[in-house]
Amino acid sequence: MTAPTHLHTMVARQYHGHAHDPQPKDQVVLDYDARFLRRKVLTTESGARLLVDLPQTTSLDHGGVLLLEGGGEIAVVAAAEELLEITAGKTGDLVRLAWHIGNRHTPCQITPERLLIQRDHVIRAMLGQLGATVTEVIEPFTPEGGAYGHGRTHSHDHGHTHSHGHSHDREAGHSHEH
């Protein structure tokens, strides 16, 4: 793709979890960590500049769209990234492995046949000790959103708020003493 001849920056102040327009104007390809943002300048696939200025930090999902001021949509695409594929001999074993991954607050993409997580040598060693087959793969990562919607946590500090607008401080018995 060639860089556009115009030098203006498109602006998106709203996000929707699914496209309304069957033909978005362009797309941004972002890995899992880059899809968690509030305000950032991105470069679209065509080379255009896009200022994302959302009202709050938001987890952008693969297949979602950023709504442009003045109309139009920019599609959000999950980029291929380095992951670990986890498989097990029996479905029950895969469920147990998923529990161990979730217990460590590790984002996980779940299918009936396998689990996908970001590469982490400590989690990989733990899974090996639990009898998992762990393989390095490179593909898009679209983990589960979690019990509270699409908000994410990157630490054990649950005093923050997510895009769904409430705090997790000791909410409904949801506390952590690590």
Identify the residue with better confidence: 40 or 90. 40
Q: Which residues does residue 29 pair with via DSSP β-bridges, in sequence order?
A: 77
The pLDDT of residue 167 is: 36
Top-level class of domain 9-78: mainly beta
What's the CA gap between 87 and 131, in Å, rounded? 9
Q: How far is CA 122 from each of CA 39, 78, 94, 101, rounded to the nearest angstrom?
A: 32, 25, 18, 11
What's the CA gap between 28 and 60, in Å, rounded? 11
Q: Which two tokens stand for residue 160?
A: 């923050």
| Three-point CA angle 119, 147, 90, nearest 5° | 55
Please, where in the chain does CATH 3.30.70.790 lie?
Answer: 80-140
Q: Which fold has domain 80-140?
A: Alpha-Beta Plaits (3.30.70)
Buried/exposed 52-86: b ≥16 CB within 10 Å, e otherwise: bebeeebbbbbebbbbbeeebbbbbbbbebebbbb
Please, where in the chain does CATH 2.60.260.20 lie?
Answer: 9-78
Please write the tens of the pLDDT for every residue from 113-165.
999 999 999 999 999 999 999 999 999 999 987 554 444 444 333 333 333 33
Please write the tens of the pLDDT for every residue from 9-39.
899 999 998 888 888 999 999 999 999 999 9
